[in-house]
Amino acid sequence: MSFGGQTPTIIVLKEGTDQSQGRGQIVSNINACLAVQATIRSTLGPYGGDLLLVDANGKQTITNDGATVMRLLDIVHPAARILTDIARSQDAEVGDGTTSVVVIAGEILKEVKEYVEQGVSSQVIMKGLRRACTMAVNKVKEIAVNPTEKDKKKTLQKLAATAMSSKLIHRNSDFFTKMVVDAVLSLDQQDLNEKLIGIKKITGGALQDSLFVDGVAFKKTFSYAGFEQQPKSFKNPKIVCLNVELELKSEKDNAEVRIDQVSEYQAIVDAEWQIIFDKMEALHKTGAKVVLSKLPIGDLATQYFADRDIFCAGRVSSDDMERVVQATGASIQSTCSDIQSEHLGTCERFEERQIGGERFNFFEGCPEAKTCTLVLRGGAEQFIAEVERSLHDAIMIVKRAIKNQTIVAGGGACEMEISKYLHSFADKNVPHKQQAIIKAFAKALEVIPRQLCDNAGFDATDMLNRLRVEHRNGNIWAGIDFVHETVANNYERFVWEPALVKINAIQAATEAACLILGVDETIKNQESEQPQAPRRGLPPGAAQRALRGRGRGMARR
């Protein structure tokens, strides 16, 4: 059919859909990522600042942990959210370097932005970046060293101290590094499940009042009448762990029973009491002195145990119960009958102690101790929460270092060495377009030492020139010395990081950059994101119902 020589307009997408594509879309995505990088880069390094983030509910968070910042920023730009994903993956895989990975990814995009604007194919750029990434990772593996220290514990403490150097607790790093290393070494060395390290936060006191408990400690659970009559201290007690409710229930809530005589109702009540008494009697006969349950232990059972000098705690959280099982050798029982001696756990000391404004139950001297507890003290809730995040990073670093023992020097030394290597390789061995891309990747890695200098108030240009000279002269561990504001051998100064941190950061940053460069079209359905405003005069809540119901009404019509 002819339309007078004109091609008819074919509408495929819904009216109002925003469709952006081409080179301008790639540049727009890069700019969004650079905006995120600009927000987070000031938190990098020992002298990085903290961010104060306030959510919609007014909750405040003060932190310089990259993964936490990226999670709380609530980024809506679809391309920039990729940076949130790489920060989260770095936190899950390694635990540290979450700020570095976002900063490097942003800098790679910044360096290749001019090539995108000049019309270089994004596929050529991505191929060059992937090649540079492979070479960089191989170089890290080549220069990484296995420390010769006989004392493995000291090596782990130095790694933990480097991880804490940029955190709020770096002034107390000697105190906390020992705590962190002891905590990780107390775990099962085959599994190294960091979730078995319990962290409890109690407001008040000084940081040095924090405790390392070689066993389990948890806050006193909800208690009924009779609890205060129970003994609060035992030596070598037997411990039984239950998933059983020891509480009388009103049968009118649970079942419908039809009766003809009062005596029948009394028989039901007596049977219910007999059932719970049989359970408690069975527990008493096991010889256990500590009874723990995930489910409630009511006032009848609490008083019963108090009369027989038994301690009980109900509504114990699953995490705490799991750690008690790991430490004491007990096994969780779902019935009170047929509990054998091998099902019971034990520990050298059990006691309830006051810490600050809270009472805590302590299980210490456990035979199976494959778990531990860190009790953190501090002045404010936000402060203790940041200490917890700092310790998490250090714990993850120590955990990874036990399995991957190779290390590199920090303070920008590793990045500068890789940058020098890539520059010289590109000059000699890459004659075509990819030479510029590999050199851009090499330049992007220099953002780490440059940003460390900027955050510390040093002259970044002067420092980088001195670092380049040192690395050209063969000093591969030359990095920034923050104490003396100069360049020094950071390996000899024990500024150590696991090689895995650098490898993971470079790989994740490169993948994120390639993913963003590969997106040249964004289709956004505006109507689904911005529903029409409801009419005025509707009662409260009716607006939401109107919006929810509108789609269904249209479908029916």
Block means of pLDDT (10 residues each) for the chain, length 557 residues? 55 56 81 91 88 86 86 86 90 86 94 90 91 94 83 84 84 88 86 85 87 89 85 90 81 66 79 86 90 90 91 91 89 86 89 89 84 88 87 89 87 93 87 86 94 92 93 92 90 89 93 89 61 44 39 36
HSE-up of 481 (CA within 13 Å, CB side)? 15
Question: If 0-12 CB within 10 Å is exposed, 13-18 middle and 19+ buried, where does residue 526 land?
Answer: exposed
Token readout for 353 is: 């102690």
Domains present along the chain, CATH in parentheses: 17-145+409-521 (1.10.560.10), 152-214+376-405 (3.30.260.10), 215-368 (3.50.7.10)
> What is the per-residue pLDDT for 26?
86
Q: Which string of b and e fits 22-46 if b means at least 16 CB within 10 Å? A: eeebbeebbebbbebbebbbbbbbb
CB 200 within 8 A of CB 376: yes
SS (H, E, C) 363-400: EECCCCCCCEEEEEEECCHHHHHHHHHHHHHHHHHHHH
> What is the per-residue pLDDT for 536?
41
> What is the per-residue pLDDT for 228?
87
CB 89 within 8 A of CB 102: no
Q: Which string of b and e fits 531-554 if b means at least 16 CB within 10 Å? A: eeeeeeeeeeeeeeeeeeeeeeee
CA–CA separation, 348 and 234 (whole Å): 8
> What is the per-residue pLDDT for 537?
44
Backbone angles phi, psi at 315, to 5 degrees: 55, 40
Strand order in the sheet with 211-213: 197-203, 372-378, 211-213
- Hey, how many other C-beta atoms are within 10 angstroms of the C-beta on 223? 17
CA–CA separation, 87 and 65 (whole Å): 10
> What is the per-residue pLDDT for 445?
94
CB 546 within 8 A of CB 538: yes
CB 500 within 8 A of CB 489: no
* Cβ contacts of 434-437, under 8 Å, gap ≥ 24: 434/124, 434/127, 434/128, 434/131, 436/115, 436/128, 437/112, 437/115, 437/124, 437/125, 437/127, 437/128, 437/129, 437/132
Which residue(s) pair with 213 in the sheet?
373
Backbone angles phi, psi at 519, to 5 degrees: -95, 110
**β strands within 311-465, DSSP E:** 311-313, 332-333, 345-346, 349-355, 358-364, 372-378, 407-409
- Pick from 511, 515, 499: which is nearest to 415 by CA? 499
CA–CA separation, 542 and 146 (whole Å): 66
CA–CA separation, 290 and 242 (whole Å): 11
Per-state percent for the chain, helix, strand, coil, to nearest 5: 50, 15, 30
SS (H, E, C) 189-254: CCCCCHHHEEEEEEEECCHHHCEEECEEEEECCCCCCCHHHCCCEEECCEEEEECCCECCCCHHHH
CA–CA separation, 294 and 501 (whole Å): 39
SS (H, E, C) 69-82: HHHHCCCCCCCCHH
Q: Which residues are catalytically annotated?
A: 65, 98-99, 393
